[in-house]
Structures are given as C-alpha cells and as structure tokens.
C-alpha cells in the first residue's frame, strides 16, 4: 500500500467518524456538493422554520447556499449571522407587541406588518441584527421577490443585497399584495417572492444536486382555488402580467409541491414539514401557538437529524486536490 492509498484511508475514516457522530461537519478536503437549503415563507408560520434553524445553529450545521422567500428569507438572514435565539425573539415573541402588526398599521402605513418596526427598530435597537457577521459568512444567500411589472420571480443575490441594503430586499420579499405596498428597488417595484415562486426548488436544483427544503405547511397540504379574485383584479388591473401570476398562484404552488414529492422520491430533496396538529395562521395572534410551533420545529428536526445527515453526507466526495 503506497502513501496515497494510506492517505485516502485516513480521509475515508474522517468522513465516517463525522457521519456516525451525528454532526454534519464540512472537513477540509471534502466538498458537500448538496449543501443548499430552501426556506418557504408564510408569515408567522415561520415560527416552525425558526425552531428548525435554531437546532441547526446549535449543531453548527452550515449550508453553502440559503434561498429564502418572504419570512423564510428573514429567518435565513439571522441563521447566516449565526445569532442563536434571535429568530425566536423576532418571529415568535415580538409579534405579540402591538407595534408589530395589525389593521391599524394597514390603515396608517399601507402594510399590515409594521415594516418600520419589524425591519427598523427591531433589527437596529431591540434585537440587533449582526449585519457584519451575515456578510462575513461565506454562504450564498438568495432572496426571492416578484416583479410588479413582469409578474416573474426576481432573485437578489448576496452581492446585490450588499449594495441595495438587506432591509430593503427583505421588505420587498415580504410585501404581501393587498396587505402591503410594493417596494422600489433601483426604479422597479417588487412584491412578496411567494407570488411567483413560493418554493424555489427548481432554482435550487439548478445550483445543487440535492436540496433541503423547509415548508411551513403540513405534508399533503394543497392550496384551494381562490374564492374571490375581484380585489386583486381591481388593485392590479394596470399590471396584467402580475395579476395573471397572482391568479394562477394556487395551482402553480400545488404543482411545485407535486414536483417536491417526486424529487424527494428520487432522493434529490430532503423535506422538513410540520405535523398537521401544529399548523398556525400567517398572522397568528396566539403566543402559545407560536411557541408550540417553534418548539415543534426544533424537536422534529432533532429527531430527524440523523436522517438529514445521511442525506447530506451521501453526496460527500473527495476533493481532487487531496486525492
């Protein structure tokens, strides 16, 4: 046995120890080609996602790319800044504050969620967001938005976010039609990324062979047809492309879920989804329900972590530079 073969044996042993320990550690000399995670939005249903990512932070599980939509993007930002406990405070505890959301904010500011509070006072003063740590993190961060002009999804990458401002991009991705105003970025108007691409798994799979997906609806959920489209037709009558995207959103969402199920069967997706009994609303007022949903996310992934490790490590390959 020559030196090269001995070296390979040590490297293989290192991966085995890493896998059996139940921790996903990207050791020097290995490329985890599938380390991408997609975070669905859903307003305060993001409490579930917050619990999942809190456990990831404790286990020091890192991904090469984080793709977030609406609330998922906001939660993903705090995950990349590695601020333990921040998502719980912002997405579980603070929504009980009257400054956070409500119809009075919709009337006075044009947004049900008080953007100046959620993206202003909260991250700058009350629960500071470590922007320096966020940008220092080498992971890619893609935020999904929807163009008011074209009705198509627009991805803002980390390098663009650095120039525009992370608060601006996150607000755009979180601006729900009828419940928020469109956000101007470089002369173009944007709405919630969930309008055009609620679960951007196809985009993720174009970047990585395997993808982890965190959904905020239970397995088997499918959106029903829109009951009343008149408010949307009136509000966006001057934006036919955007309106068309809005009106077909439910059917496209269901097609995406069908695609996710198929990709999961083929071993390309690892789907993390809440149990039906823990489901909560987009603007859930009940603190106890939000806390329970958060705890459910944490405990669920804790139980599934070994399976997640198996999924991720199955694609670990030796780097050519150390063979």
DSSP structural state of residue 177: B
pLDDT of residue 323: 25
Out of 70, 111, 175, 198, pick the active-site residue: 70
Distance CA 247, CA 252 (A): 10
Which CA distances in Å does 275 have to 47, 299, 311?
Answer: 13, 12, 21
Are the beta carbons of 77 and 141 closer than 8 angstroms?
Answer: yes
Q: Collapse the DSSP code of 131 into the 3-class scheme (helix H, G, I; strand E, B; otherwise coil) and give the result.
A: helix
pLDDT of residue 11: 40
Answer yes or no: is 69 within a domain. yes
Are the beta carbons of 208 and 265 closer than 8 angstroms?
Answer: no
Answer yes or no: is 6 within a domain. no
Is 192 among the residues known to form the active site?
yes
pLDDT tens, N- to C-terminus, the chain (323 residues)? 443 443 443 443 444 444 334 333 444 323 344 589 999 999 999 999 999 999 999 999 999 999 999 999 999 999 999 999 999 999 999 999 999 999 999 999 999 999 999 999 999 999 999 999 999 999 999 999 999 999 999 999 999 999 999 999 999 999 999 999 999 999 999 999 999 999 999 999 999 988 999 999 999 999 998 889 999 999 999 999 999 999 999 999 999 999 999 999 999 999 999 999 998 999 999 999 999 999 999 999 999 999 999 999 885 443 332 22
* E strand or H helix that includes residue 52: helix 46-58
Answer yes or no: is 9 within a domain. no
pLDDT of residue 34: 56
pLDDT of residue 315: 54
Is 64 among the residues known to form the active site?
no
In total, how many domains does the chain have?
1
Answer yes or no: is 215 within a domain. yes
The vertex-57 CA angle with 55 and 58, nearest 5°, equals 65
Distance CA 287, CA 304 (A): 26
Are the beta carbons of 60 and 72 closer than 8 angstroms?
Answer: no
Answer yes or no: is 164 within a domain. yes
DSSP assignment string, 237-252: TT-HHHHHHHHTHHHH
pLDDT of residue 121: 98
pLDDT of residue 210: 86
Answer yes or no: is 27 within a domain. no
Which CATH number does the domain housing residue 76 bear? Answer: 3.40.1090
Distance CA 3, CA 31 (A): 22
Answer yes or no: is 201 within a domain. yes
Out of 50, 142, 175, 192, pick the active-site residue: 192
244: domain range? 34-315
Neighbours of 167 (CB within 10 A): 19
Answer yes or no: is 64 within a domain. yes
């Amino acid at each position: 046995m020559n030196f090269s073969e001995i070296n390979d044996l040590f490297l293989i042993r290192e991966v085995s120890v890493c896998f059996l320990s139940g921790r996903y550690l990207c050791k020097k000399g290995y490329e985890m080609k599938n380390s991408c995670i997609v975070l669905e939005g859903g307003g305060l249903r993001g409490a579930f996602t917050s619990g999942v990512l809190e456990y990831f932070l404790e286990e020091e599980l890192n991904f090469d790319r984080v793709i977030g939509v609406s609330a998922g993007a906001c939660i993903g930002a705090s995950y990349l800044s590695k601020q333990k406990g921040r998502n719980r405070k912002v997405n579980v505890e603070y929504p009980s504050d009257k400054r956070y959301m409500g119809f009075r904010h919709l009337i006075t500011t044009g947004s049900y969620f008080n953007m100046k509070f959620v993206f202003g006072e909260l991250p700058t003063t009350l629960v500071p967001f470590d922007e320096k740590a966020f940008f220092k993190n080498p992971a890619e961060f893609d935020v999904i938005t929807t163009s008011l002009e074209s009705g198509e999804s627009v991805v803002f990458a980390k390098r663009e976010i650095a120039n525009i401002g992370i608060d601006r991009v996150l607000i755009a991705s979180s601006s729900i039609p009828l419940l928020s105003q469109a956000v101007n970025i470089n002369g173009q108007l944007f709405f919630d990324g969930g309008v055009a691409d609620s679960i951007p798994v196809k985009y993720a799979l174009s970047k990585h062979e395997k993808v982890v997906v965190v959904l905020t609806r239970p397995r088997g959920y499918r959106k029903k047809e829109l009951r009343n489209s008149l408010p949307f037709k009136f509000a966006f009558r001057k934006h036919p492309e955007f309106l068309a995207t809005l009106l077909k959103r439910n059917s496209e969402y269901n097609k995406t879920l069908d695609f996710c199920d198929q990709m999961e069967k083929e071993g390309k997706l690892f789907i993390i989804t809440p149990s039906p009994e823990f489901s909560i609303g987009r603007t859930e007022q009940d603190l106890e329900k939000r806390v329970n949903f958060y705890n459910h996310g944490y405990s669920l992934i804790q139980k599934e972590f070994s399976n997640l490790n198996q999924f991720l490590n199955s694609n670990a390959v030796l780097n050519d530079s150390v063979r």
